[in-house]
């Protein structure tokens, strides 16, 4: 595991594999599934996992992953973690715009002071 390089070690069928999402893999995933793939759908998990395995383990195709049927939830969590590392590295995930409302009253205070 290396959050800085985005490499996540996973195990499928007793084989240790390196899951890593390149920008090309991320672009393919976003083009096919948008910015929030459904990681509860086995076909989606297999496809997204295969995209992350493609550079180092090209023999792990979505069909092969579906055939091997690794436990779905642990694989989905590993995929999600590797994607998070690919986007943010070791940084915290930024809060959504809706959660930043606590800063808005200060803006209003500055407007009131400016008008005086």
> pLDDT for 35-48, tens place per residue?
889 999 999 999 99
Segment 43-66 mean pLDDT: 96
Segment 64-74 mean pLDDT: 96
Are 85 and 20 contacting, i.e. CB atoms less than 8 angstroms apart? no
* pLDDT range class, residue 5, cuts 50, 70, 90: confident
Residue 72 CB neighbours (<10 A): 14
Q: CA 88, CA 67: separation in Å to the nearest integer?
A: 32
């Amino acid at each position: 595991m290396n959050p800085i390089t985005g490499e996540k070690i996973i195990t499928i069928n007793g084989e240790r594999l390196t899951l890593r999402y390149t920008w090309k893999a991320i672009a393919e995933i976003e083009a096919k599934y948008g910015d929030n793939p459904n990681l509860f759908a086995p076909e989606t998990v297999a496809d997204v996992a295969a995209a992350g395995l493609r550079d180092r383990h090209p023999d792990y195709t979505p069909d092969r992953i579906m055939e091997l049927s690794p436990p779905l939830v642990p694989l989905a969590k590993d995929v999600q973690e590797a994607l998070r590392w690919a986007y943010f590295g070791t940084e915290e995930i930024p809060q959504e715009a809706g959660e930043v409302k606590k800063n808005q009253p200060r803006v209003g205070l500055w407007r009131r002071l400016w008008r005086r």
